[in-house]
Amino acid sequence: MPNWICFYRQQMERYPAQAGPYAEDVKALEALRAELHGRY
């Protein structure tokens, strides 16, 4: 999952016009990672 978060952050930097949707994806992935981390 860290690779996907990194990928979306890079996309935000490369394509600033699309940063909004990428930011939503990063936020969702980070929330999922935190939820999964809390379970194990």
Q: What would the two tokens of residue 10 be?
A: 């890079």
Residue 35 — pLDDT band, cuts 50, 70, 90? very high
DSSP 15: -
pLDDT of 16 above 80? yes
Nearest to residue 23, comparing CAs of 8, 39, 40, 3? 8
CA 19, CA 33: separation in Å to the nearest integer? 21
Q: What would the two tokens of residue 15 be?
A: 């394509």
Report pTM: 0.74
pLDDT of 11 above 80? yes
